[in-house]
Amino acid sequence: MSAPSAGRAGWARGVALVCGRELGAFFDSAIAYVYLISALVLLTSLFMNEFFLTGRLDMTPLFDALGPLSIFLLPAISMRLWAEDKKSRTFELWMTLPLRPAQVVWGKYLAALALYGVFLLGTTPIVVMLAWLGDPDLGLVFSGYLGALFLGALLLACGALLSSLTGDQIVAFVASVLAGFLFVFTGHPKVVAVLDGMAPELGAGSLLAESVAALPRYEGFVRGLVELSSVVWFAGLAGVFLWLNAVVVTRVRS
Amino acid sequence: MIRVEHVSRDFGAVRAVDDVSFAIEAGEVVGFLGPNGAGKSTLLKMLCTFLPPTAGKLTVAGHDVEGEPLAVRAAIGYLPEHNALFETMSVARLLRFVGRVRGLVGERLAERTAWVVDRVELGSVLKKRVPECSKGFRQRIGLACALIHDPPVLLLDEPTHGLDPLQVVAFRDFIAELAPGRAILFSSHILAEVAEISNRLLVIQGGRLCLDESVATLEEQGRARGATLEQLVLERVRAAAPAEGSPGVAPEVAP
């Protein structure tokens, strides 16, 4: 049997082993259960409130609420990815196993993404309820979930990088929340207007909204617009963060 | 099996390991002695690829530590000083995970797991989670993780730390059993323990290697001069210490 670092199959096997261990770590402790229950209660409460007020058979209010909520929900997953290993010294254990740093980075990231996926799956009874009550636009629902997945993939990759820069989960959480604010609120129309108004010649608000903001791209998915440019933007930026994460964990040793 | 050639390691302005060279062949059990901060753990961390050297070359099982870190990691069993383990896992799951990462599957994995569980006596804690295990058991779990893939090179940083006297005796016998065909380098503060387990001593002081001698030779020299092994080692350590002296050297090296 080849080592999990040799060849493509070995590479994927190593990533899968790390992912399985990390997912186990989430579910072996109370972290995953507390996270999933509290996040689902919060999100579905916000949705049901809107649903009872408007009576529309539409998932859009849920995805609208999820965008800003992601700023806090996703760092709660990503904060422990590396910071805990550094604090408990298991970072040395990871880095002396016959695995490439990129395999560990991907394994941990995919575990975090899988937990987020379980959270999104937890909202699917709402889709069933809407389908039972009437005829919601399932294409719109699907593209909303796709947008939520891409937004999560980006913020988790950013959070994993920030977690690798510190040995303190609280610091990782706060830094990830701030980064989330940057990604989400730089695309908010009011923030764009304020920033543009401060220096009209620079057009800083519009510039940030076009280059950094995840919100307009995410809202595109929520409104049913699946654009290749948005897919590339989310995936590309997440890839850059993961690459930087691998660079950081490699360099931390030296 | 292990070759260290003019290796140095700096942490900022501090030189933790200074121009150290030695080689260890298969079948040798080498004790690595020195006071706290002498550079023992730093050198072991370089050998296991965790830290890169500032200068010099390290080779383990024929692989360059810098150029082929994965091959080196596959060839070593490493027990780190603080022996951090994945706390949320049960002992059985931890061993299975480490075995799989080490490339073991199916029957071979079951066979090797059974072997380490039997030899390191982990049967009673297999279903327990790591945090539920005592310090001595945690040390044995770390040793089991280091041995599960039957590595040709063993690097053990303070392996007897946390073991009771009976376990230390068992560990000594176990190391003697493992020695044939393997290169074993282990660090310790306790000279008597190292002299009992190993057939060669390396002593490091202030980052520099100040003694590299077989235990048999040292014992012979001791008999000729009417000195104990401890006295001979301390003599060499003190000779290598800086002029102002190095606080805490003697008591830490002494048993």
Across the interface, of A3, A24, A254, the residue whose CB is closest to B52 is: A254
Is residue A132 within 8 A of residue A51, CB to CB? The reply is no
Question: Are B84 and A92 within 8 A, CB to CB?
Answer: yes
**Tens-digit pLDDT profile for residues B175-213:** 888 889 899 999 987 888 888 888 899 999 889 998 898
**CA B250 – CA B255 distance, rounded (Å):** 10
What pLDDT score does A139 carry? 93
E-only strand ranges, A38-117 = none
Across the interface, of A6, A24, A88, the residue whose CB is closest to B84 is: A88
Q: Which residues contact A164 (CB under 8 A, 6 or more apart)?
A: A81, A82, A83, A245, A248, A249, A252
Is the pLDDT at A155 greater than 90? The verdict is yes
Task: For residue A209, give the amino acid letter.
Answer: A
**CA B49 – CA B74 distance, rounded (Å):** 11
**Tens-digit pLDDT profile for residues A163-207:** 999 989 999 999 999 999 988 888 778 888 888 888 777 777 888
Across the interface, of A25, A92, A253, the residue whose CB is closest to B88 is: A25
Is residue A126 within 8 A of residue A59, CB to CB? The reply is yes
Which pair of structure tokens corresponds to residue A208? 């940030």
Which pair of structure tokens corresponds to residue A143? 């593209």
For chain A, give every domain's residue range.
3-253
The pairing of beta strand B55-60 with beta strand B2-11: antiparallel
What pLDDT score does A254 carry? 55
**Across A102-108, average pLDDT:** 96
**Tens-digit pLDDT profile for residues A11-47:** 899 999 999 999 998 888 787 888 899 999 999 999 9
Q: What is the ipTM of this complex?
A: 0.85
Mutation site for B-interface testing, chosen from A92, A249, A254 by largest number of B Cβ within 10 Å: A92
What radius of gyration do chain B's Cα atoms show? 18
Is the pLDDT at B250 greater than 70? The verdict is no
The percent of residues in chain A predicted with pLDDT above 70, rounded, is 97
pLDDT level of residue B242 (50, 70, 90 thresholds)? low
Q: Is B218 an interface residue toward A (CB < 8 Å)?
A: no
Q: Which residue has the higher pLDDT, B98 or B171?
A: B98
**CA A185 – CA B76 distance, rounded (Å):** 49
**Across B164-172, average pLDDT:** 83
Q: Is residue B76 classed as helix, strand or coil in its secondary structure?
A: strand
Question: Are A93 and B85 within 8 A, CB to CB?
Answer: yes
**Closest C-alpha to B53, from B6, B122, B88:** B6
pLDDT level of residue A69 (50, 70, 90 thresholds)? very high
What pLDDT score does B190 carry? 81
**CA A49 – CA A47 distance, rounded (Å):** 5
> Which chain B residues are Cβ-neighbours of A17 within 8 angstroms?
97, 100-101
Is the pLDDT at B254 greater than 70? The verdict is no
For A30-39, A243-252, B47-56, B226-235, which range has the lowest pLDDT when averaged over its residues?
Answer: B226-235
Q: What angle do CA B172, B175, B180 make, to 5 degrees?
A: 140
B86 Ramachandran zone, left/alpha/beta (phi>0; psi -120 to 50): beta
- For chain B, the average pLDDT equals 87
What pLDDT score does B159 carry? 87
For A70-74, B189-193, B218-222, which range has the lowest pLDDT when averaged over its residues?
Answer: B189-193
pLDDT level of residue A4 (50, 70, 90 thresholds)? low
**CA A6 – CA B71 distance, rounded (Å):** 10
What pLDDT score does A1 carry? 47
What pLDDT score does A184 carry? 86
Question: Are A95 and B50 within 8 A, CB to CB?
Answer: yes
**Tens-digit pLDDT profile for residues A201-227:** 777 788 877 788 898 899 999 999 889
Query: How many Cα atoms within 13 Å fall on the side-chain side of residue A172?
Result: 29
3-state helix, strand, coil in chain A (%, to 5): 80, 0, 20
**Tens-digit pLDDT profile for residues B131-143:** 999 888 898 999 9
**Tens-digit pLDDT profile for residues B102-111:** 999 999 999 9
Residues belonging to chain A: 254
Task: Output b/e per residue, B183-207; b: 16+ Cβ within 10 A.
Answer: bbbbbbbbbebbbebbbbbbbbbbb
**CA B25 – CA B108 distance, rounded (Å):** 27
| Dihedral Cα B8, B41, B27, B63, nearest 10 deg | -50
